Amino acid sequence: MRKRAALVSAGIAVLAITGINAPAQAAAPGTSATATATATAQTEAAWQYIGSYSSRSYCIDAGQQYVREGFSNYRCDPAPGGTGYYYLYVS
- pLDDT 10s digits, 17-32: 555 554 444 444 554 5
State the pLDDT at residue 19: 54
Question: What's the mean per-residue pLDDT of the chain?
Answer: 74
Mean pLDDT of 46-62: 97
For position 48, what pLDDT does the model report? 96
Q: Which own/partner contact pairs does 49-55 have at CB distance under 8 Å and 24+ positions apart?
A: 49/87, 49/88, 49/89, 50/88, 50/89, 50/90, 51/87, 51/88, 52/79, 52/85, 52/86, 52/87, 52/88, 53/85, 53/86, 53/88, 54/84, 54/85, 55/84, 55/86
Highest mean pLDDT among 7-11, 18-22, 83-87: 83-87
